[in-house]
Amino acid sequence: MNSPALNVLFLCTHNSARSILAEATLNHIGGGRFKAYSAGSSPRENQQPNPLGLKALQAVGIDTTGLRSKSWDEFAGANAPQMDLIITVCDNAAGEVCPIWPGHPATAHWGYADPSEVQGTEEQRLEAFRQTLLAIRRRLDLLVNLPPEKLARQLIQTTARDLSGRT
């Protein structure tokens, strides 16, 4: 019998780049074992996913339909899906006081440099997004290829944190 998908929430400050890349990538490669979401601790008013991030995802065949920037408040309410794992992907969000998450999910920090801060030509900036996407993909490949027993509720905390040291 198949286990239900693990719900994974990727957090960043604005939910426009790294967390969006991680959400789309895990949903693409997760094989039904994972359901990924993303949110920001303080997305700007009218925040949208970075167009270069969307372009990087589309270039490798990852669907960007429905991706949007949103506040982590959407995932802290009673009607929100219960998360099994919450991963911060930027150092700012890692240091912030998070909401109390229903179900007390496992947490980990996988830090990545912000590709949206890279200056230069559009091609240089797009390359920064490609490199960040590649780094995220490498770590997510490790996660999705873990045997089911490593993803058991009591082990996921340690497993996710162990992956933070790998690229």
Tell me which of 98, 118, 142, 146 is the catalytic residue. Answer: 98
Residue 30 known to be catalytic: no
Task: Output the six-digit token pair for 131.
Answer: 């490199």
Tell me which of 6, 12, 21, 156 is the catalytic residue. Answer: 12
Strand-pair partners of 108? 87
**DSSP annotation of 116:** G
Residue 90 known to be catalytic: yes
72 Cβ neighbours under 8 A, 6+ residues apart: 9, 11, 39, 40, 41, 98, 99
Task: Decide: 137 and 129 in contact? Cβ < 8 Å.
Answer: no
How buried is residue 90: exposed, middle or buried, by Cβ count under 10 Å (0-12/13-18/19+)?
Answer: buried
Tell me which of 9, 26, 90, 151 is the catalytic residue. Answer: 90
Q: How many CB atoms lie within 10 A of CB 113?
A: 14
- Give the angle subtended at the CA of 144 by the CAs of 143 and 145, to the nearest 5°: 90
Residue 98 known to be catalytic: yes
Q: Which residues are catalytic?
A: 12, 90, 98
